[in-house]
Amino acid sequence: MKHHREELWFHTSTRRAFINITSQVQAAIAKSGIREGLCLVNAMHISASVFINDDERGLHQDLDRWLEGLAPHAPIDQYRHNDTGEDNADAHLKRTIMGREVVVAITAGELDFGPWEQIFYGEFDGRRKKRVLVKIIGE
């Protein structure tokens, strides 16, 4: 069994952002030399997400508006987590909806994807350096 590990770093200029990381994950798979296996991609921070969906600007607007409806940022004093001095309780809830991680199949050295699947980093409390872990096992 082979294994490979990489970190991807992000520093968004906005509080919330969706970034397509598919090519970076594919590059990590190429570097690993693994042809058949599983690839875990997870946010290493608990106010961010890794998810798979469509790379379509309108959908990303819909996701952002929908998440804000389900877990509004303001007023920040509606959340007990923010009593600690944070203002990011909503980011923890938004990431819960979007998920921490994806596990993707590797077949013949490639991401084994359907026609529209793309991997995104979802940032909900940005404007600082944060990381994604890529861990690949296989042969």
Applying CB under 8 A, which residues contact a copy of itself? 1, 3, 5, 36-38, 40, 42-46, 51-54, 56-59, 61-63, 66, 70-71, 79-84, 89, 92-93, 96-105, 107, 112-117, 131, 133, 135, 137-139
Q: What are phi and psi of 22, to 5 degrees?
A: -55, -45
- What residue has token string 């980011």? 91
Q: What is the largest CA-CA distance in the chain?
A: 51
Please report how close the Cβ of residue 77 comes to a copy of itself at its closest, in angstroms. 12
What sign has the CA pseudo-torsion 91, 97, 98, 101?
Answer: positive
Instruction: Specify the residue, 15 or 135, whose C-beta has the smaller distance to a copy of itself.
Output: 135
Please report how close the Cβ of residue 30 comes to a copy of itself at its closest, in angstroms. 18
Please report how close the Cβ of residue 26 comes to a copy of itself at its closest, in angstroms. 16
Please report how close the Cβ of residue 13 comes to a copy of itself at its closest, in angstroms. 21
Please report how close the Cβ of residue 61 comes to a copy of itself at its closest, in angstroms. 5
C-alpha to C-alpha distance for 4 and 117, rounded to whole angstroms = 23
C-alpha to C-alpha distance for 10 and 70, rounded to whole angstroms = 25
Instruction: Specify the residue, 19 or 133, whose C-beta has the smaller distance to a copy of itself.
Output: 133
Instruction: Specify the residue, 30 or 70, whose C-beta has the smaller distance to a copy of itself.
Output: 70
Q: What are phi and psi of 84, to 5 degrees?
A: -75, -5
CA 51, distance to chain mean position in Å, is 5
Instruction: Specify the residue, 5 or 127, whose C-beta has the smaller distance to a copy of itself.
Output: 5
Q: What are phi and psi of 59, to 5 degrees?
A: -60, -40
